[in-house]
Amino acid sequence: MTGKTVTRIDLAAAVYREIGLSRNESAKLVESVLSIIETSLVNGETVKLSSFGTFTVREKNERVGRNPKTGEEVPITPRKVLTFRASHALKDLVNSSNIESNHSSTDITKTKDFSSEFYAEDIKSNLNNLSEGKESLE
């Protein structure tokens, strides 16, 4: 395991490198896709990404739990929880013994000085413009 965390900027860098959109358009595209997924989940919809997995929102009923220190019964309020179930294809890929050799060229974090060129204010400004409909991806 490498221990690397892939961030939004890393995803935008991969879009920039693989698709050829500008860096700002790549960041907008990533934010737009994540926003659509987020909105769908907030609305209680299931998000199924073929060959990747399924995000679902489950409702948990009220139940009685116990305080582990005192043993006292404590009511646990009803709530919604987000679950992710990986597809068989993704599970197989993760468990593949050849994952390093087969996918070393797809390491999305290998973009030259990409993250240093993004500034939080620029990203926020561009995303605000996108959400207000001032700019659109072509």
Whether 11 maps to a domain, the answer reads yes
pLDDT digits (tens, 9 = 90+) for 63-83: 999 999 999 999 999 999 999
| Of residues 101 and 114, more confidently modeled | 101
As for how many domains the chain has, the answer is 1
Residue 86 pLDDT exceeds 60: yes
Question: Residue 65 falls within a domain, yes or no?
Answer: no
- Specify the pTM: 0.64
- State the chain's maximal CA–CA distance in angstroms: 60
Distance CA 15, CA 6 (A): 13
In a domain? residue 25:
yes
Which two three-digit tokens encode residue 87? 């597809």
Any alpha helices (H) in the chain, and if so which ranges?
8-19, 23-42, 88-95, 99-103, 114-117, 120-131
Confidence of residue 9 (pLDDT cuts 50, 70, 90): very high
Whether 28 maps to a domain, the answer reads yes
Which residues have a Cβ under 8 Å from the Cβ of 6 and sit 6 or more positions away?
108, 109
Residue 34: give the domain boundaries: 1-42
Number of H helices, E strands in the chain: 6, 5
Distances (CA, A) of 77 to 41, 70, 82: 20, 19, 16
